[in-house]
């Protein structure tokens, strides 16, 4: 199964700043996703990171707020822009393997952001 590394694992940020989260996978994967898990809540899909093209965003999420890059099959970044305390969440990178079961995801350990 894919091994996913996310950086940073946690950070405390000031209001109005931006932070980029990196996701590195140890094997080539078809799909990469970014999820948000707000305190005490379930996971919400932010977007699908597409290699070499713009990410596909879910309703309620926009590129200006959450720009995403995916330059190759094993790496993606998510930026949380102009942060406010409402952005305090765990952000999770997940992947679907090239020859895996559709819908079976592997997750990084998450990046826990606290915005002051």
What residues line the site for other proteins (CB under 8 A)?
Answer: 4, 41-45, 92, 94, 101-110, 112
Residue whose CB is less far from other proteins, 81 or 88 = 88
What is the full DSSP assignment across 4-57?
Answer: EEEE-SEEEE-TT--EEEEEEESS-EEEEEEEEE-TT--EEEEEEEPTTS--EE
Q: How far is the CB of 46 from other proteins (least distance, A)?
A: 13
Nearer to other proteins, 45 or 81 (CB): 45
The answer to whether the peptide bond before residue 93 is cis (omega within 30 degrees of 0) is no
Report the residue number, 65 or 112, with the smaller CB distance to other proteins. 112
**Shortest reach from residue 73's CB to other proteins, in Å:** 18
């Amino acid at each position: 199964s894919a091994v996913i590394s996310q950086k940073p694992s946690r950070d405390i940020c000031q209001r109005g700043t931006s932070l980029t989260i990196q996701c590195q996978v140890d094997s080539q994967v078809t799909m990469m996703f970014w999820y948000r898990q707000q305190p005490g809540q379930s996971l919400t899909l932010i977007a699908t990171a597409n290699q070499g093209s713009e990410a596909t965003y879910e309703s309620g999420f926009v590129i200006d707020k959450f720009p995403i890059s995916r330059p190759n099959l094993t790496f993606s970044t998510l930026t949380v822009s102009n942060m406010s305390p409402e952005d305090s969440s765990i952000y999770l990178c997940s992947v679907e393997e090239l020859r895996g079961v559709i819908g079976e995801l592997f997750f990084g350990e998450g990046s826990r952001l606290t915005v002051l």
